[in-house]
């Protein structure tokens, strides 16, 4: 059984009939803090609509059961990065809970795509990375926040979804800027010699909160080309691998 199942206790299931008619659109929000205990938020008048992205079917089912028990409306799920982008556009959830690593990409890439094309959806990164790597993943994604997978700690996810849906910061102010500055400052560090000059520029834009579309406009590149560069950057930083991040690389960002 996957560790994720122990943590939280059919491909592309659709739990609802589509987006909520008349649902208000939120502004796209960048993650601007590091992790902290999520604030309690007052319950909304309508159920919070949630989409789940995780490559383990049992984990998706476990998360769905948990969230529905807590009063959320799980409108759909997927085990594929590419499929999830299509479904999220159709279903228009309030919150998308995105696993950080997937067979065909990362939750970081999905979040970046959603921010460009469906800014009303707020994204949370669900990760098994340690605290420092998790906050950097969320900054690169431009996510509203992140939740670290811990055995038996489902309360953190529930609180984070509620506070994010209510527009209440789940993390302390000011840290996104510091992390972004660190990422930008290391864009020419020795351990990044494997990156091309263009990839380094893309990384700098990602760290500063630019969406893929904004990067494309600023660098005068096609959207698909920017997406490829983003994937290459995440690959070289270790976020697209199932193993460890590049040893020692992130120590420069402390």
Give tens-digit pLDDT for 168-179.
765 565 777 777
Poorest-pLDDT segment among 95-104, 129-138, 169-178, 203-212: 169-178
CA distance 195 to 231: 12
pLDDT band at 86 (very low <50, low <70, confident <90, very high): very high
Whole-model pTM: value is 0.76
* 3-171 CATH, one of 3.40.50.1100, 3.40.50.2300, 2.60.40.3670, 3.40.50.300: 3.40.50.2300
Across the chain, mean pLDDT equals 77
Nearest alpha carbon to residue 8 among 47, 77, 58 = 58
Six-digit token pair at 215? 């990067």
Residue 198 has pLDDT above 80, yes or no: yes
**CATH 3.40.50.2300 domain range(s) in the chain:** 3-171
User: Bigger pLDDT: 250 or 116?
Assistant: 116
Which pLDDT score is estimated for 101?
86
| Bridge partners, 146 (sequence order) | 125
Q: Which helix (H) or strand (E) holds 177?
A: helix 175-185
- The per-residue pLDDT for 16 is 47
Residue 114 has what pLDDT? 94
pLDDT for 188 equals 58
Between 194 and 232, the more confident residue is 232
On the question of pLDDT at 59 being above 50, the answer is yes
Binned at pLDDT 50, 70 and 90, residue 186 comes out as low
As a whole number, mean pLDDT of residues 174-203 equals 76
Within 13 Å of residue 254, how many CA atoms lie on the same side as its CB? 4
Token readout for 64 is 């769905």
pLDDT of residue 115: 92
Give residue 184's region: left, alpha or beta (phi > 0; psi -120 to 50): alpha
Which pLDDT band holds residue 249 (cuts at 50, 70, 90)? very low
Which pLDDT score, from 0 to 100, does residue 177 have? 78
Tell me how far CA of residue 136 lies from CA of 21, 176, 250, in angstroms: 35, 8, 9
Q: What is the pLDDT of residue 124?
A: 93
Taking only the tens place, the pLDDT of each residue in 23-48 is 432 222 233 333 344 444 445 567 99
Candidate from 72-81, 98-107, 163-172, 218-227 with smallest mean pLDDT: 163-172
Question: Which residue from 84, 100, 135, 108 is spatially nearest to 254, judged by alpha carbons?
Answer: 135
Distance of CA 219 to the CA centre of its chain: 24
Q: Write out the two tokens for 218.
A: 């600023």
CATH of domain 177-253: 1.10.10.10
The predicted model gives 12-31 an average pLDDT of 39
Percentage of the chain lying above the pLDDT 90 cut: 38
CA angle 242, 189, 35 (to 5 degrees): 55
Reply yes or no on whether the pLDDT at 161 is more than 70. Answer: yes
Residue 13 pLDDT: 44
Where does CATH 1.10.10.10 sit in the chain?
177-253
- Between residues 131 and 16, which one has the greater pLDDT? 131
CB-CB neighbours of 57 under 10 Å:
15
Dist. CA 254–CA 104, nearest whole Å: 30
């Amino acid at each position: 059984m996957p560790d994720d199942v122990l943590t939280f206790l059919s491909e592309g299931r659709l739990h609802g009939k589509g987006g909520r008619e008349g649902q208000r659109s939120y502004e796209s929000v960048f993650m601007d803090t590091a992790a902290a205990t999520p604030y309690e938020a007052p319950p909304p008048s309508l159920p919070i609509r949630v989409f789940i992205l995780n490559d383990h079917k049992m984990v998706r089912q476990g998360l769905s059961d948990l969230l529905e028990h807590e009063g959320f409306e799980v409108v759909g799920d997927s085990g594929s990065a590419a499929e999830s982008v299509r479904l999220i556009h159709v279903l228009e959830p309030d919150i998308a809970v995105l696993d950080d690593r997937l067979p065909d990409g990362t939750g970081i890439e999905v979040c970046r795509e959603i921010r460009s094309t469906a800014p009303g959806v707020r994204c949370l990164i669900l990760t098994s990375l340690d605290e420092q790597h998790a906050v950097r993943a969320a900054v690169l994604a431009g996510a509203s926040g992140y939740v670290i997978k811990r055995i038996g700690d489902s309360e953190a996810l529930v609180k984070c979804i509620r506070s994010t849906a209510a527009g209440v910061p789940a993390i302390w102010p000011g840290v996104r800027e510091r992390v972004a500055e660190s990422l930008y400052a290391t864009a020419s560090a020795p351990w990044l010699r494997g990156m091309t000059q263009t990839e380094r520029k893309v990384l700098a834009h990602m760290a500063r909160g630019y969406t893929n579309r904004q990067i494309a406009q600023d660098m005068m590149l096609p959207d698909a080309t920017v997406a490829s560069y983003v994937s290459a950057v995440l690959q070289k930083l270790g976020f697209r691998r199932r193993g460890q991040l590049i040893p020692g690389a992130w120590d420069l960002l402390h």
